Amino acid sequence: MSKVLVTGGAGFIGSHLCEALLQRGDQVFVIDDLSTGRIENIAHLQDNKHFHLTIGSILDLSRLEPLIRRADVIFHLAAVVGVQKIIDAPVETIETNILGSHNVLSQAARYGKLCLVASTSEVYGKSKKVPFTEDDDAVYGPTNKSRWSYACSKAIDEFLALAYCNAQGLPVIIARLFNTTGPRQTGRYGMVLPRFVDQALRSEPITVFGNGHQTRCFADVSDVVRALLTLMEHPKAIGQVFNIGNPQEISIYQLAKLVKRLADSDSEIRMIPYDEAYQPGFEDMERRVPSIEKIFRLVGYRPRLKLREIISHMIESRRGELVTTEALPVTAALQSQSLRAGVVE
């Protein structure tokens, strides 16, 4: 039995990771400030005597240091996530991601603890060379477009992790996660799939931002967790960066149509210009597709769930919750005006 620290363990991915760790018999320690993480995500784990929750920030070294000292290994997932959250809280995004990761990595290096850092496909920025492979160049926009602060902050985390690895021998693994989705994911901070599913189930307009031609690839959280656990077990993963995702690509407009069909919904599909959905000058990525050849070559990893199954599972799991949840918040810009965009269907 290992002692595993999961930073951000009350978040969507973190909570699924904790479940898997407990199932295989580990002692699980979580630190989470419940900023985007939620107690409800881990409520079902709290009676487990191997599950230990610390509510606190990774910015607070007095809380973090003893947890790292006592852990055998660390999954560092705590971060500010979600495009909407990043636009709404730019200072918190940069500080939590960079200073928080610095705390985790410096303490992990101090005690020589194996640490997996959850990074993101955002670090590729708006590169047009798809699929993205781990050694590809990152392409960012200007500093006055706050979206890029997230990409840069996570890139700094990666630089720092690799620097600790190379200069101080920290055993570190970097996992770049591409659009992960599944049960318990909230649509509050962006996250298109739970938003579309909730909109479809409520017969509300399904809001496609931009022209809907932009593409994404969605991986189920169960596949992502399996990849994280497998990488952590492999000594040759240390010091390396891995994409984790599902290469099945779909445009956001097609995604809206598919969700509508699978949910048997009568929602209209409504196109919303980016400027209204986010903020003036917002830049989106046109295509985002992972190459997963590297992780396949090292550990034989391939995702199991296909997009249709992922969507169907999400529809099932959210149907029951619908009555109790509050209405989806639209973005700040949308709150202040009526939806004036054109109706496509």
Q: Return the active site residues.
A: 150
- Restricting to residues 82-121, name those near ligand UDP by CB under 6 A: 83
* Candidate ranges 2-10, 26-34, 206-214, 334-342; the one touching ligand UDP (CB under 6 A): 206-214
Q: Which of 75, 31, 38 is nearest to 57 (CA)?
A: 31
Residue 116 is classified by DSSP as: E
Site track 148-187 with ligand UDP (rule: CB under 6 A), x = hit: -------------------------------x--------
C-alpha span between 62 and 222 (Å, rounded): 33
Task: Verify binding: residue 7, ligand UDP, rule CB under 6 A.
Answer: no
Task: Verify binding: residue 208, ligand UDP, rule CB under 6 A.
Answer: yes
β-strand pairing of 114-120 with 27-32:
unpaired
Task: Verify binding: residue 209, ligand UDP, rule CB under 6 A.
Answer: yes
* DSSP assignment string, 60-95: -HHHHHHHHHH-SEEEE------HHHHHH-HHHHHI
Burial class (CB in 10 A: 0-12, 13-18, 19+), 260: buried
Measured from the CB atom, the residue of 54 and 215 that comes closer to ligand UDP is 215
Which listed residue (85, 184, 195, 294) binds ligand UDP by CB under 6 A? 195
Provide the Cα torsion 102, 22, 2, 154; round to 10°: -20
Residue 132 CB, nearest distance to ligand UDP (Å)? 12
The angle that helices 252-262 and 192-201 make with each other, rounded to 10 degrees, is 40
Which listed residue (15, 35, 103, 207) binds ligand UDP by CB under 6 A? 207
Measured from the CB atom, the residue of 35 and 215 that comes closer to ligand UDP is 215
**Residue 203, CA atoms < 13 Å, CB-side half-sphere:** 1
Task: Verify binding: residue 284, ligand UDP, rule CB under 6 A.
Answer: yes
C-alpha span between 67 and 39 (Å, rounded): 19
Measured from the CB atom, the residue of 65 and 284 that comes closer to ligand UDP is 284
**HEC secondary structure over 213-275:** CCEEECEEHHHHHHHHHHHHCCHHHCCCEEEECCCCEEEHHHHHHHHHHHCCCCCCEEEECHH
Residue 179 CB, nearest distance to ligand UDP (Å)? 5
Measured from the CB atom, the residue of 17 and 191 that comes closer to ligand UDP is 191
Judged by CB under 6 A, how many residues of this single chain contact ligand UDP?
15
8 A C-beta contact, residue 3 and residue 67: no
Residue 252 CB, nearest distance to ligand UDP (Å)? 5
Measured from the CB atom, the residue of 79 and 165 that comes closer to ligand UDP is 79
Closest residue to ligand UDP in the complex (CB): 190
Measured from the CB atom, the residue of 27 and 214 that comes closer to ligand UDP is 214
Measured from the CB atom, the residue of 275 and 309 that comes closer to ligand UDP is 275
> In b/e form, how buried is each residue of 147-177, taking b as 16+ CB within 10 angstroms?
bbbbbbbbbbbbebbbebbeeeebbbbbbbb
* Candidate ranges 12-20, 59-67, 133-141, 208-216; the one touching ligand UDP (CB under 6 A): 208-216
Which listed residue (191, 217, 263, 292) binds ligand UDP by CB under 6 A? 191
Task: Verify binding: residue 214, ligand UDP, rule CB under 6 A.
Answer: yes
How many CB atoms neighbour CB 72 within 10 A? 13
Residue 267 CB, nearest distance to ligand UDP (Å)? 12
**Token code pair at residue 152:** 């840069």
The CA-atom distances, in angstroms, between 214 and each of 7, 87, 141 are 32, 20, 17
Residue 93 CB, nearest distance to ligand UDP (Å)? 13
- Restricting to residues 250-279, name those near ligand UDP by CB under 6 A: 252
What are the residues binding ligand UDP (CB under 6 A)?
83, 179, 190-192, 195, 207-210, 214, 216, 252, 284, 288
